[in-house]
Chains A and B, each alone.
Chain A
């Protein structure tokens, strides 16, 4: 089946630093999504990317849909303590009648030191 390789697995940074994480796949995706999960809660959608090469921002977050459609990255600028959490990438591929199934990366655990 499809797999997403998300890296790094964890990051420990100082407040104010920029952060970058990425996902790569052996398969093509038509949509890339980035979610954030706080402890004990469900993931919350941060950014959705629908077109190869697309670069989208949401406040201090910027994400890009790779031109090959097999990768995506997420950048967080000027990190703050509330950025702490697990960040997941997810890919959506059209595959006949199953085009609603997301494939998730294993997540990047971000810790921000005040």
Chain B
């Protein structure tokens, strides 16, 4: 089946630790996105990539990093610089200019 796979479903981070969230898609979409969702808030854009080896900061990029070495993969690293990382993280992909389709999310918590 075609779709977007995020892993793990749940992730725990210790103080001072970097963690990486995986996002893989087999939809052959050019564009991929990372969002953060907090309770009662809408989705806020962290980073997005329109093409392989290129990505741009979204509205809340501080404390996060990404890479886009392959079309199907867009991993997100939550660094120790992100002081409030507890949230639900959503990855999405799309054909350029078309609606985005989402994975099932990763819930990140602090130990």
Residues of A with Cβ closer than 8 Å to B? Answer: 1, 4, 6, 31, 33, 35, 40-45, 48, 88, 92, 97-102, 104-107
CB distance from A81 to the nearest CB of B (A): 21
User: How many B residues face the partner with a CB closer than 8 A?
Assistant: 27
A-B contact pairs, 27 of them (CB 8 A): A1-B59, A31-B99, A33-B99, A35-B102, A40-B104, A40-B105, A42-B4, A42-B6, A42-B102, A42-B103, A42-B105, A43-B43, A43-B90, A44-B102, A45-B100, A88-B43, A92-B97, A99-B96, A99-B97, A100-B31, A100-B94, A101-B45, A102-B43, A102-B100, A104-B43, A105-B42, A106-B41
CB distance from B30 to the nearest CB of A (A): 9
Q: Which of A1, A40, A99, A106 contacts B40 (CB 8 A)?
A: A106
Supposing A101-B48, A107-B42 touch, asked if A42 and B90 sit within 8 A by C-beta, the answer is: yes
CB distance from A10 to the nearest CB of B (A): 10
Q: Is B105 a contact of A41 with CB atoms below 8 Å? A: yes
Residues of B with Cβ closer than 8 Å to A? Answer: 4, 6, 31, 33, 40-43, 45, 48, 50, 56, 58-59, 90, 92, 94, 96-97, 99-105, 107
Known contacts A42-B4, A44-B102; 5 further A-B pairs (Cβ under 8 A): A1-B59, A99-B96, A100-B94, A102-B43, A106-B42
Can you name the residue of chain B whose Cβ is closest to the Cβ of A41?
Answer: B104
Residues of chain A contacted by B103 (CB below 8 angstroms): 42
Can you name the residue of chain B whose Cβ is closest to the Cβ of A9?
Answer: B40
Residues of chain B contacted by A35 (CB below 8 angstroms): 102
